[in-house]
A = this chain, B = another copy of it.
Amino acid sequence: MERIIASIITIGDELLIGQVIDTNSAFISQELNKIGVWVKRRVAVGDSKEEIVRALDEESRDTNIIIMTGGLGPTADDITKPVLADYFGGKLVMNEEVRKHLVYLFEEVFRRPIIERNLKQAEVPDVCTVLPNARGTAPGMWFEKAGKVFVSLPGVPHEMKGLITTEVLPRLQRRFEMPFIGHRTLLTAGVGESFLAEAIQHWEEKLPAHLKLAYLPNYGMVRLRITGWSTSKAQLEQELDTEFATLKKLVQEWLVIDEDATLPMALSKLLRSKNKTMSTAESCTGGYLAHLITAIPGASNIYKGSIISYDNEVKISQLQVSPVILQKVGAVSEEVVLEMAAGVLAKLNTDYAVAVSGIMGPDGGSPEKPVGTVWVAVGNKQKLVTQKFQFRFDRDRNIEMTATQALNLLRKFIVENA
């Protein structure tokens, strides 16, 4: 079976002046990988006819699929559509289905008058198959030329994602003969990538050629993913199950969850399985812990709320932290996070709680408590445990690392004190 190869072209001057970070390419790469398509290159070009045409020529040279995003908006700098019409030898025509969808969006959803400029978004090259965009105004477009598939999608991430999932992937799977692809993913915490690599080296070296291991490190956690491909689905699934079982044993000590889930998801699942609730008392993370938990659908079953005491006044009035202790040892201390945790457990009446206090930077550090100093307390009404962390990153990364470590500490507490 021939390998199916893709290239991704992202279009827009905003990518070249560094105004936006391209997250679309990573999403598209992941999704294509899952159905067995190998992404060979990714190119970003500006809103220029010459550059778009050059990219189409070069990227289609030795690939089967070319996915484009961006340049489909209603403003003057969005030139992708006429360029594509020209490139594939067609002309722009009004598409009645898209026009109806546009009118519906403006009349029923946006409740704004539709103007000429918006209606032009219903014009598509007459040589493409329209991919309806339920989430927005610009439709996706599917072209074929010399046995290759070219897909143009809007650059707005959630519109692009909707089109990839509902239109592009199913069509590609029908259009090309793909191998079966299978994945097994687990999440570890508290161990570095190179140490992990050392621990599983012997097993990894013996993996058959059609199974590949990827290390996916992110904020103090490492995800491990086995990807396999084969013409026999049954055989592949069995091989994956066997190898995954071995891998799980090898990393048992650091295992957070044996599926493709994030730490907040793992914690939510754990709480749900025990029918327990949690709350947070946050200072330095300023609501980020709460956000990570509540971003997961169904959070209301396990999460009651948070008292964010960014100001010491709030620690005293809402969490009953002792002003004397605050005065004596400062807000970033073991004593204070213990009181915060006890305070929120009592106030919000939850089974578990996590409390954090630290210095995220860039200002606020001192020789005794430099930027990156963090205290975390986790536990229940019977028992609390604490841990001190010393990070050394910038503000954003310190907030992210604190949240990760705090949630993992709570997760471990729940597992060990069940």
A-side interface residues toward B, CB under 8 Å?
13-23, 25-31, 33, 38-46, 51, 55, 58, 73-77, 109-110, 112, 115, 117-118, 135, 156, 158, 192-195, 197-198, 204, 212, 214-217, 223, 225, 227, 280, 282, 285-291, 293-295, 297-300, 303-311, 313-314, 317-318, 347-349, 361-364, 392-397, 399
Contact A299 B304 (CB under 8 A): no
Query: How far apart sit A362 and B215, CA to CA, in the bound complex (Å)?
Result: 31
Contact of A197 among B46, B74, B397 (CB under 8 A): B74
CB distance from A403 to the nearest CB of B (A): 10
Contact B299 A294 (CB under 8 A): no
Contact A41 B39 (CB under 8 A): no
State the majority secondary structure of interface residues on A.
Answer: mixed
Query: How far apart sit A299 and B364, CA to CA, in the bound complex (Å)?
Result: 11
Query: How far apart sit A141 and B283, CA to CA, in the bound complex (Å)?
Result: 40
Query: How far apart sit A314 and B227, CA to CA, in the bound complex (Å)?
Result: 45
Point out the residues of chain B lying under 8 angstroms from A23, CB to CB: 21
Query: How far apart sit A280 and B295, CA to CA, in the bound complex (Å)?
Result: 18
Contact A287 B306 (CB under 8 A): yes
Query: How far apart sit A115 and B195, CA to CA, in the bound complex (Å)?
Result: 8
Contact A29 B17 (CB under 8 A): yes
Contact B214 A13 (CB under 8 A): yes
Residue of B nearest to A294 (CB): B286
Contact A304 B313 (CB under 8 A): yes
Known contacts: A308-B306, A397-B158. The answer to whether A15 contacts B40 by CB under 8 A is no
Q: Can you list 28 contacts pairing A with B, beta carbon distance less than 8 Å?
A: A13-B212, A13-B214, A15-B25, A17-B33, A17-B39, A18-B29, A18-B33, A19-B216, A20-B26, A21-B23, A42-B43, A42-B44, A74-B194, A112-B192, A117-B198, A285-B294, A287-B288, A297-B361, A297-B362, A298-B363, A305-B311, A305-B314, A306-B307, A311-B348, A317-B348, A317-B349, A318-B318, A318-B347
CB distance from A203 to the nearest CB of B (A): 13
Contact B305 A76 (CB under 8 A): no
Query: How far apart sit A198 and B194, CA to CA, in the bound complex (Å)?
Result: 55
Query: How far apart sit A298 and B193, CA to CA, in the bound complex (Å)?
Result: 34
Known contacts: A17-B214, A297-B395, A347-B318. The answer to whether A290 contacts B313 by CB under 8 A is no
Residue of B nearest to A157 (CB): B397
Known contacts: A20-B26, A214-B19, A287-B287. The answer to whether A194 contacts B313 by CB under 8 A is no
Query: How far apart sit A193 and B300, CA to CA, in the bound complex (Å)?
Result: 36
Query: How far apart sit A280 and B305, CA to CA, in the bound complex (Å)?
Result: 13
Residue of B nearest to A22 (CB): B22
Residue of B nearest to A6 (CB): B16
Query: How far apart sit A287 and B403, CA to CA, in the bound complex (Å)?
Result: 13
CB distance from A39 to the nearest CB of B (A): 5
Query: How far apart sit A303 and B312, CA to CA, in the bound complex (Å)?
Result: 11
CB distance from A8 to the nearest CB of B (A): 9
Contact B73 A295 (CB under 8 A): no
Contact of A76 among B43, B117, B197, B285 (CB under 8 A): B197
Contact A158 B393 (CB under 8 A): yes
CB distance from A74 to the nearest CB of B (A): 4
Point out the residues of chain B lying under 8 angstroms from A396, CB to CB: 158, 295
Contact B13 A29 (CB under 8 A): no
Contact B44 A18 (CB under 8 A): no
Contact A308 B286 (CB under 8 A): no
CB distance from A105 to the nearest CB of B (A): 10
CB distance from A61 to the nearest CB of B (A): 10
Known contacts: A44-B42, A214-B14, A214-B77. The answer to whether A307 contacts B310 by CB under 8 A is no
Query: How far apart sit A14 and B58, CA to CA, in the bound complex (Å)?
Result: 22
Residue of B nearest to A298 (CB): B363
